[in-house]
Amino acid sequence: MLWPKLARNLLSRPRTDPPVTPRPEVVAALRDRLAEAGQRRLGRSLAIRHVDAGSCNGCELECHALGNVAHDLERYGLRFVASPRHADVLLVTGPLTRNMAEALLRCRAATPEPAWIVAAGDCAVDGGVFKGSYAVLGGVEEAIMPDLVIPGCPPTPTHILEGLVALLEANAG
């Protein structure tokens, strides 16, 4: 019968985990620091081009979460852009597969200065769980020296934000 099943599902609790919402004071502090450093170094918001260099997509989910209603990336003065030609930062995830090395180098060549390279996630740092595989080079460093590494499997959106703020502050001059 459909109705008992429907009633049961309507009355039961959701099976998903409750959303993880960042603490408002953490958000406010990050936003203020980023706005100040962004204005000092760039005079505008920070533009990020994401490069998936062979990740399992776990890190991508956390990067995408930066844009959801809980984090709302743009309030920090950050935005993802569709081309490396418009980016200040290349945010690289994944262990750098052999097939993606050339693409990453071309992406770097197309990015105007300052062209900061950020390795996000354990795989991008040193190959992570894919270390030793014939198909991977074992981290972003094998092709380009990163300016910042953000460890974690995967790193949380807040960790990624804190890393980007630290990068901008360190280069704000």
What does the binding site for ligand SF4 look like in residue numbers (CB under 6 A)? 55-56, 58-59, 93-94, 121-123, 128-129, 153-154
* 3-state SS string for 29-54: HHHHHHHHHHHHHCCCCEEEEEEECC
- Least gap, CB of 58 to ligand SF4 (angstroms): 3
Nearer to ligand SF4 (CB atom), residue 27 or residue 149? 149
CB 96 within 8 A of CB 142: yes
Residue nearest to ligand SF4 (CB): 58
- Least gap, CB of 97 to ligand SF4 (angstroms): 11
Nearer to ligand SF4 (CB atom), residue 77 or residue 163? 163
Distance CA 97, CA 63 (A): 20
- Least gap, CB of 59 to ligand SF4 (angstroms): 4
* Crossing angle of the two packed helices 157-170 and 58-65, in degrees rounded to 10: 70
- Least gap, CB of 16 to ligand SF4 (angstroms): 19
CB 89 within 8 A of CB 61: no
